[in-house]
Amino acid sequence: MLILVANLGSTSFKYRLFDMTDERCLARGAVDRIGESESSCSVEIGDWTEERTMTVPDHGVAVAACLEQLTDAEHGVLKDASEVAAIGFKAVHGGRISGVFQVNDDVLDAMAEMNAAAPAHNPPYIAAMKTLRERFPDLPLVAAFETDFHQTIPASRKEYAIPREWADGLHIRKWGFHGASHRFIATRSAELLGLEDARVISCHLGGSSSVTAIQSGKSVLTTMGMTPQTGLPQNNRVGDFDPFALPLIMNETGMTLEEVLAELASRGGLLGLSGKSADCRDLEEAAAEGDEGSQLALDVYVQEIRRHLGGMIVAMGGVDAIVFTGGIGEKGADIREGVCRGLQELGIAIDDKANQSLRDEGTFHSDDSRTQLWVIPTNEELIVARQTTAVLNQKA
């Protein structure tokens, strides 16, 4: 069974094609600047790569361009586009529905109800799904919601202290996100540790970051709440923020609520703290040259990770492994060192040399550390491919 996994942005379409008989990734590619006068299309199939420009007005045309590359007579891996069994989407917020579903009108309606909670994610997914249903009516579309992995979190850790009717009627609770990534880490870490009941803290650190406590393969606590805007400081999103500061900002600046929220979602986080960049690499370089704002941004980011780390260790009564994944988690040796520094009393001890030299999956804890420290590259697309396959098999 061949599954195409799609990761959408408002003007982008990234994909991977999996053969689920052995879970091999047969191809990957991307279409950028959708809707502009000139879009770029790239594909990688084995040793063959191609980049070209064309006009791509919408996501439906982007998928058609992708399928054209995959069926290329000389280099393609498909004889015909009909070989693709389904397209799986790493969907974000479904509110009243959380799981894995074949896309229908009710799924699209549920996503639309959460547009205000996920304004950067839900609208482009909804638009793309509607376009693809029209252009490819016989091709099943499957939405794998990021909130699904966190459904096992106990109520005491996912409810806000708000009026009951808001929680029940408006679906306001700590939903959690990055579910595909944390699910992959849960599966892979259990394999590496040889423990089905392992207590693992998964640190997905990148442009968007979250930390999740995993016990016996299940999410039991996570940092993101009602929306992907919350939790740790993000690259340009605020993270946790006191809502009672909003009236003050509005009164002093004359901005509307919508304008303030837009600023917090685009000029907050590491960008807001530093005043320079949302990229940790830029911040580390600037901090090394003495820029105080950049150093502050890095310090706040690390301290917030450590704050949640401590709470998760208490929640699980200890920790067997801490895993770092995502672009920063996998490549940011200094961030990893900052998170793990000075925690020997908690049984967490780092091997500095191993940490600095680690380039792929592997450990960087010292010999006397009771807690294992890992870097594990995530594979969100494979998780979505597995979930999509399971939905198709249920309907077979």
Longest dimension (CA), the chain: 63
Close Cβ partners of 165 (under 8 Å, ≥ 6 residues apart): none
Amino acid at 382: L
Query: 229, 214, 17, 197: which is closest to 114 by C-alpha?
Result: 229
Q: Where are the alpha helices (DSSP H) in 229-278?
A: 246-253, 257-266, 269-274
- Tell me if 300 sits within 8 A of 294, measured CB to CB: no
Question: What are the chain's domains?
Answer: 2-145 (3.30.420.40), 194-375 (3.30.420.40)
Query: 91, 195, 107, 206: which is closest to 149 by C-alpha?
Result: 91
175: helix, coil or strand?
Answer: coil
Query: 369, 267, 204, 342: which is closest to 354 by C-alpha?
Result: 369
Determine if residue 279 is labeled as part of a ligand binding site.
yes
Close Cβ partners of 249 (under 8 Å, ≥ 6 residues apart): 255, 260
17: helix, coil or strand?
Answer: strand
Determine if residue 203 is labeled as part of a ligand binding site.
no
Give the count of beta carbons closer than 10 Å to the beta carbon of residue 224: 28
> What would you report as the CA-atom Rg of the chain, rounded to the nearest whole angstrom?
22
Query: 23, 21, 14, 28: which is closest to 382 by C-alpha?
Result: 23
Rounded CA separation 389/3 (Å): 7
- DSSP E strands, the chain: 2-9, 12-19, 24-32, 39-45, 48-54, 84-89, 100-102, 141-144, 199-204, 210-215, 218-222, 321-325, 362-363, 372-375
Distances (CA, A) of 324 to 153, 320, 329: 21, 14, 5
Q: What are the tokens at 145?
A: 């919601």
Pairing between strand 321-325 and 372-375? Answer: parallel
Q: What are the tokens at 23?
A: 């879970």
* Residues β-bridged to residue 222: 212
Determine if residue 280 is labeled as part of a ligand binding site.
yes
In this prediction, residue 128 carries a pLDDT of 86
In this prediction, residue 10 carries a pLDDT of 66
Distances (CA, A) of 203 to 109, 155, 342: 32, 22, 18
- Tell me if 385 sits within 8 A of 23, measured CB to CB: yes
pLDDT tens across the length of the chain (396 residues): 999 999 887 678 899 999 999 999 999 999 988 888 888 899 999 999 989 899 998 888 888 888 888 998 888 999 988 899 999 999 999 999 999 999 999 999 999 999 999 887 898 889 889 988 988 899 999 999 999 999 999 999 999 999 999 999 999 999 999 999 999 999 999 999 999 899 999 999 998 999 999 999 999 999 999 999 999 999 999 999 999 999 999 999 999 999 999 999 999 999 999 999 999 999 999 999 999 999 999 999 999 999 999 999 999 999 999 999 999 999 999 999 999 999 999 999 999 999 999 989 999 999 999 999 999 999 999 999 999 999 999 976
* Residues β-bridged to residue 28: 16, 44
**pTM of the predicted model, to two decimals?**
0.93
